[in-house]
Structure 1
Amino acid sequence: MLTMIDKHLHTFYIALSFLTRIPVPIKGEVKQSDIGQSILFYPLVGALIGLILFLLTQGILFWSPDFSSDVLAAVLLIVWVLLTGGLHLDGLADSADAWIGGLNDRERTLAIMKDPYCGPIAVAVIVLLLLLKWTALSALLEADYAAFLIVVPMLSRALIIVLFMTTTYVRDSGLGSALLDFLPEENYLWLSLLASVVAYLIFAGFASILLVALVVYGLRAMMLQRIHGMTGDTLGAIVEISEAVALLGLLLSV
């Protein structure tokens, strides 16, 4: 039993070290199979990010009940980005540059995604998305609706599982290939997804998750049309966009 617990902790730490900048005690060798198994814990890592944001919110409001919702939203957004190290924002930036500069050409689009430089389109998209998140966060906090913070990052990372189950990964190497080659059994993937959806519905409601599903379906269709699948960058873009859409959808429930 202890060995099984240690194994699960090991794969959880791998997921945590990849998706966040939280220091983790990874011991021993990190195998390709461990990387693949770690995808099961992506929603849990998202929930942990959300829990940190929620506790930070409660701590600030306990100390200062009249704290400005605008300023609090800005603080939360900064911590949110710092916790993830801007990992998914980088994917969003690369995808934005590639989609505009790719001129509807698959190979050109994939080549631009590999370019480490960030163009003006990427900067504009990041600024606009963060502005959208900040505005939605402020409005939700103003409405005293903070529990959503726990489940929004969880849902966005559960979508990574959905995409790996349904969409071709077009790169021949990289972390995505390791994940795809060593995906856990489908039953475990479905269990992780079901737990994420149930938790989201409890904390956030149906309207938000429906809006996210529709937007992600449209983004996936765009990926299939342009590059015939997905890359790590497009996954990052979907994580960021789905979080913004989820926050907007939550405003429908307030």
Structure 2
Amino acid sequence: MMRDFLAALGFLTRLPVPLHVFDDGRAGARSLPWYPAVGASIGAMLWLLVWLLGRWPPLLSAALLLLAWVTVTGALHLDGLADSADAWIGGIGDRERTLAIMKDPRCGPAGVVALVLVLLLKFAALASLPRAGSAALVLAPMLARAGLTLAFMTTPYVRPQGMGSRLREAPPAACRIALAVVVGAALSCGWHGLLALAVAGAVFALWRHACLKRLGGFTGDTCGALTELVEAAVLVALVAAAAASG
């Protein structure tokens, strides 16, 4: 179990893990149920950083939180967001053109705009989080990576030789248990968790529909985009709800 978690940690973050966890060819598939746990771990690191920063100015604290968030993940999902934005605009509705643009390592204007907007939303949400709202720091990354687990369970992967192709072989029972644990953990946070679940579910459903319509399924880049979109949406929704109720 620990080996599978470490494999998930190695895939989704830039945190150092022992290289031997990847010796097994099925390490990737068995790591999928642990994706939400990696998200929760990222959230715990962010919560710890908030505690360490204490009463630093909110704008500076938000900038440092966002810097830590991007550093820990190695901008992996941001890269997928940028590629997806470029491909969606440049693909002009054509599946093969969209997939071809995603493989281009260059970042076009749509990708740059998508990165700026999502990072700006995250920064503003982090700067606006109430001190009692640190649950959002765990819910956002956890639900985003639970979305990846659900995506590989329910949606075709359109690149047979892609990095995520083996994740389709993940043990379904373990994935269902992991998702059930995520739902339970979110609901334990009260109305914050219920709202976060609803927002994450809505983003997942809308993006999945868009990917099925355009591509017939997911790619690694669209999974990265999904992660970033869920994180930003959950943060913004929780901050907005807290402001409305307070």
TM-score normalised to structure 1 length: 0.91
Deviation at 1:29? 5.4
Q: Which moved more, 1:22-31 or 1:10-19?
A: 22-31
Which residue number corresponds to residue 4 of structure 1? none
User: Would you say how many aligned residue pairs link Structure 1 and Structure 2?
Assistant: 240
Which residue number corresponds to residue 250 of structure 1? 238
Which residue number corresponds to residue 79 of structure 2? 90
The 5 Å alignment of 1:76-87 reads 76-87=65-76
Q: Does 1:22 align with 2:9?
A: no
Q: Does 1:50 align with 2:43?
A: yes
Q: Does 1:200 align with 2:193?
A: no
Residues 92 and 139 of structure 1: CA distance in aligned 2, closer, same or farther (over 3 Å): same
Which residue number corresponds to residue 127 of structure 1? 116
What is the CA–CA distance in structure 2 between the aligned matches of 1:147 and 1:168, rounded to whole Å?
32
Partner AA of 1:163 in structure 2: A
Contact 1:205 1:253 in 2 (8 A): no
For 2:19, what is the secondary structure of its paired residue?
Answer: coil
Deviation at 1:26? 3.2
What is the CA–CA distance in structure 2 between the aligned matches of 1:224 and 1:16, rounded to whole Å?
28
Uncovered stretches (5+) of structure 1, i.e. residues with no partner: 1-7
Contact 2:32 2:170 in 1 (8 A): yes
Residues 29 and 214 of structure 1: CA distance in aligned 2, closer, same or farther (over 3 Å): closer
Q: Does 1:175 align with 2:175?
A: no
Partner AA of 1:32 in structure 2: G
Contact 1:53 1:149 in 2 (8 A): yes
The 5 Å alignment of 1:100-139 reads 100-139=89-128
What is the CA–CA distance in structure 2 between the aligned matches of 1:29 and 1:149, rounded to whole Å?
29
- Alignment match of 1:69 (pick from 48, 58, 64): 58
What is the CA–CA distance in structure 1 between the aligned matches of 2:18 and 2:195, rounded to whole Å?
39
- When the two chains are superposed, the root-mean-square deviation of aligned CA atoms in Å is 1.3
Residues 151 and 118 of structure 1: CA distance in aligned 2, closer, same or farther (over 3 Å): same
Deviation at 1:175? 2.0
What is the CA–CA distance in structure 2 between the aligned matches of 1:175 and 1:31, rounded to whole Å?
15
Deviation at 1:230? 0.6
For 1:171, what is the secondary structure of its paired residue?
Answer: coil
Deviation at 1:252? 4.1
Deviation at 1:28? 6.1
Deviation at 1:24? 1.0
- Alignment match of 1:34 (pick from 13, 27, 38): 27
Uncovered stretches (5+) of structure 2, i.e. residues with no partner: none
Which residue number corresponds to residue 216 of structure 1? 204
1:23-74 deviations in Å (ceiling 9; x for gaps) = 112326523312100011111111111101100100111xxx3x21121111
What is the CA–CA distance in structure 2 between the aligned matches of 1:56 and 1:130, rounded to whole Å?
19
TM-score normalised to structure 2 length: 0.93
Deviation at 1:248? 1.5
The 5 Å alignment of 1:232-243 reads 232-243=220-231
